[in-house]
Amino acid sequence: MDLLKILISVFFITFSLGEVAKIQFPNSISVGFFDLAVVLLSLFYLKKIFKGRFVLKIPILLFIAVSVFSLIINFLNYELNQILIGSLYLVRWIAYTGIYFTAINLNKKGKEYALKFMMISGVSVVILGYLQLIFYPNLKNLYYLGWDEHMHRMFSTFMDPNFAGVIFVLFFVFFFIFKDELLNRKSLQYFILGSTFTAIILTYSRGALVMLVISALIYSIIKRNWKIIVGTIAVLTIVFVILSPGFYIENTNLLRTASASQRLETSVQALSIFKKNPLGVGFNTYRYAREKYGFIDTSKFGPSHSGAGVDNSLVLILVTSGIPGFLAYTFLLYKTFKLGISRLSNNKMSVVLVVSLGGILVNSLFINSLLYSFSMAWIFLLAGLTESN
């Protein structure tokens, strides 16, 4: 258990460090300290993965098989190094599924330890977000590395306010439901919830705000308490009115249209490529497929951090792994929802899972949050803890 405690600690510490603790290699390849922590944690229970019966085991293996198939049938369409780069993300995705299997096998003390560190890591990214907003309010000096400027917005250690917003909402949902088990002092509970809610607002991410509303709606349905969704919408309406005088600044304008148009354009491009490749262009090879069809990343300083994907997660899965991959991933989502819904009556973690997955699924229509490493890890962790209970 001592080694497992160390691995869990490293997992959540590197989670808090986000995109900052990452080593960049040529050809847009990067390896984060969090990736390494995930691999080590996943290896801890590797033997039990093959022996045990798990709810999501078949859907996970099915999606892996289909993704490998998409790379094989497109092998001659790309250079060898491009196929290898595409394979690397699949290897990463496989490693991240290990979080689910590890969480299932945690004993009671291991689960309690994980819950405490979920709170600590969540609070940490919120605190780091406020420090970032004060001392490092934009990424203008890193534009040459492919990062957007994100002026006057909170992005914490994730270097992107939209993804930071997703993590904030995931933590908010978790802490809201588990606050009494984690902390005794009501004042501290409310302070953390208030600080996290404010952090979500300060990302100025409309996707995160929609995710919060959807999460509140799902929670209200589960608990049959409509005061929660009504209160959430009322508070956000007041916040909107308060912030509206600052909407003349493009980055903090919640009614901005430029970014929405760009996101829609990425989906239109992807669907046009999909029509010619119904079996997919190959898992994580979309950047090269874009270039092949004339949709070249025009960032001034080389490939941007969004050049390899589509803002809509489901469209990205469809265009890269084709119809078989889309169906396999939909099956995985269905089984995950079913896992949570089947245990709602006697499992608080299942409530967190259903609310979080519902929120992030809607959010993934705006940004690629379903395949984002940190949010993906959080969802797999919730699924594993739900099944273990």
* pLDDT tens per residue across span 211-222: 999 999 999 999
Query: Is residue 165 within 8 Å of 125, Cβ to Cβ?
Result: no
Query: What pLDDT shows up at residue 300?
Result: 42
Question: Residue 181 pLDDT more than 50?
Answer: yes
Check residue 303 and report its DSSP letter: -
* Bridge partners (DSSP) listed for residue 30: 24
Question: Residue 301 pLDDT more than 50?
Answer: no
Query: What pLDDT shows up at residue 302?
Result: 45
- Which CA distances in Å does 66 have to 83, 281, 324? 15, 12, 7
Check residue 30 and report its DSSP letter: E
Question: Residue 322 pLDDT more than 90?
Answer: yes
The pLDDT of 4-22, averaged and rounded, is 93
Q: What percent of the chain has pLDDT over 70?
A: 94
Residues near 256 by beta carbon (within 8 Å), at least 6 away in sequence: 250
Q: Helix or strand or coil: residue 217?
A: helix
Query: What pLDDT shows up at residue 293?
Result: 84
Q: What residue spans of 244-312 are helical by DSSP H?
A: 258-276, 286-292
Question: Residue 92 pLDDT more than 60?
Answer: yes
Closest CA to 123 of 78, 67, 167: 167
Query: What pLDDT shows up at residue 137?
Result: 87
Query: Is residue 378 within 8 Å of 97, Cβ to Cβ?
Result: no
Q: What is the DSSP string of 354-365?
A: HHHHHHHHHHTT
The pLDDT of 193-198, averaged and rounded, is 98
Query: Is residue 208 within 8 Å of 168, Cβ to Cβ?
Result: yes
How far, rounded to the nearest angstrom, does the alpha carbon of residue 159 sit from its chain's CA centroid? 14
CB count within 10 Å of CB 276 equals: 9
Residue 185 CB burial class (10 angstroms; 0-12, 13-18, ≥19): exposed
Query: Is residue 249 within 8 Å of 259, Cβ to Cβ?
Result: no
Q: Among 102-116, 123-137, 145-159, 300-314, whose mean pLDDT is lowest?
A: 300-314
Question: Residue 303 pLDDT more than 60?
Answer: no
Q: How many residues are there in the chain?
A: 389
- Which CA distances in Å does 316 have to 34, 35, 135, 208, 322? 23, 22, 35, 20, 9
Query: What pLDDT shows up at residue 255?
Result: 73
Q: Helix or strand or coil: residue 86?
A: helix
User: What is the C-alpha R_g of the chain?
Assistant: 20
Question: Residue 299 pLDDT more than 50?
Answer: no
Q: Helix or strand or coil: residue 306?
A: coil
The pLDDT of 51-70, averaged and rounded, is 93
Q: What residue spans of 80-205 are helical by DSSP H?
A: 80-104, 108-135, 161-182, 186-202
CB count within 10 Å of CB 258 equals: 9
Query: What pLDDT shows up at residue 268?
Result: 92
Query: What pLDDT shows up at residue 23?
Result: 83
The pLDDT of 306-318, averaged and rounded, is 82
Q: Strand 29-32 to strand 22-25: parallel, antiparallel, or no bridges (unpaired)? A: antiparallel
Which tops the pLDDT comparison, 53 or 34?
Answer: 34
Query: What pLDDT shows up at residue 27?
Result: 65
Question: Residue 144 pLDDT more than 70?
Answer: no
Question: Residue 143 pLDDT more than 90?
Answer: no
CB count within 10 Å of CB 256 equals: 15
Query: Is residue 366 within 8 Å of 306, Cβ to Cβ?
Result: no
Query: What pLDDT shows up at residue 184?
Result: 93
Three-class HEC string of 119-137 = HHHHHHHHHHHHHHHHHCC
Range with the largest mean pLDDT of 280-284, 341-345, 379-383: 379-383
How far, rounded to the nearest angstrom, does the alpha carbon of residue 146 sit from its chain's CA centroid? 20
Q: What is the DSSP string of 311-374?
A: SSHHHHHHHHHHHHHHHHHHHHHHHHHHHHHTTTTT-HHHHHHHHHHHHHHHHTTTS--TT-HH
Question: Residue 61 pLDDT more than 60?
Answer: yes
Residues near 90 by beta carbon (within 8 Å), at least 6 away in sequence: 64, 67, 68, 71, 283, 284
| Band (254; pLDDT cuts 50, 70, 90) | confident
Query: What pLDDT shows up at residue 145?
Result: 66
What are the tokens at 347? 């499992």
Average pLDDT, rounded, for the chain: 90
